[in-house]
């Protein structure tokens, strides 16, 4: 939605590693690398990616990135573990993005009832 508001084209295939860049997203490649490191288990990789990102962002931007990763991670896990379904408005609104990212390939997608 933010890309539409800002009239920016974003290459969502970058999220799945299907693109060499994150077209339209400032520091997109480094943001993806940091996110992968946060979600991974390699402490050295996390430290390396954090250091790289810190050279590109100011303190406020870095906190926003870390908070966004944390919020999406925890909210998704809570919703999945408690069986909270997508409400009809969010299902409709997010359908194209969910399909483009092929989110149905993840085992947890079984917890999302069909539209």
Angstrom distances, CA of residue 86 to CA of 14, 32, 57: 24, 25, 33
Predicted local distance difference test score (pLDDT) of residue 19: 57
pLDDT digit string, tens, across residues 25-68: 788 889 988 998 998 999 999 999 999 999 999 999 999 999 99
Predicted local distance difference test score (pLDDT) of residue 45: 97
pLDDT digit string, tens, across residues 76-115: 778 777 777 777 888 888 888 888 888 888 777 776 666 5
80 vs 86: CA distance, rounded Å? 10
Does position 75 have pLDDT exceeding 90, yes or no? no
Domain ranges of the chain: 2-83, 85-115
In the chain, % of residues over pLDDT 90? 33
> Is the distance from CB of 47 to CB of 54 less than 8 angstroms?
no
107 vs 61: CA distance, rounded Å? 33
Predicted local distance difference test score (pLDDT) of residue 70: 92
Mapped onto helix, strand or coil, the DSSP state of residue 115 is coil
Of 23, 32, 36, 80, the residue nearest 56 (C-alpha): 32
> Is the distance from CB of 8 to CB of 21 less than 8 angstroms?
no
């Amino acid at each position: 939605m933010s890309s539409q508001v800002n009239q920016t084209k974003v290459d969502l295939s970058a999220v799945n590693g299907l693109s060499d860049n994150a077209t339209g997203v400032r520091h997109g490649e480094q943001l993806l690398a940091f996110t992968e490191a946060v979600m991974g288990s390699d402490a050295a990789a996390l430290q390396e990616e954090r250091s790289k990102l810190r050279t590109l962002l100011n303190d406020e931007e870095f906190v926003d990135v870390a908070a966004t990763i944390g919020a999406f991670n925890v909210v998704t896990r809570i919703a999945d573990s408690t069986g909270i379904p997508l409400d009809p408005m969010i299902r409709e609104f997010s359908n194209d993005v969910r399909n483009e990212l092929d989110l149905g390939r993840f085992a947890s997608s079984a917890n999302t009832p069909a539209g």
